[in-house]
Amino acid sequence: MALKQKITESKEALAHNLERIRLERKATLEHLCLETKLELKAIKNIVEGNANPSLKEITKLATALEIPIHELLSSKK
């Protein structure tokens, strides 16, 4: 599998998992902004699969949602 395709799949998995878990926990995007100190636009870009977040940003999101990082990155649905 080509690297570009793997990156695309990883971004899609992150976007899907972040939105699913956020909704399960009834957390608003604004709540994530406050908890992570990330801008709303940055979080929206991640949720839409249009961003390449850093490990630091992914860690902040996982911490805010009180989940292990691998739950955000897992490609299993």
CA distance 70 to 1: 21
pLDDT in tens, 16-73: 999 999 999 999 999 999 999 999 999 999 999 999 999 999 999 999 999 999 999 9
- On the 0-12 / 13-18 / 19+ scale of CB atoms within 10 A, 14 is buried
pTM: 0.90
Q: CATH class for domain 3-73? A: mainly alpha
Evaluate whether 58 touches 72 at the Cβ level (below 8 Å).
yes
Backbone dihedral region of 67: left (phi > 0), alpha (psi from -120 to 50 degrees) or beta? beta
Enumerate the domain spans of the chain: 3-73
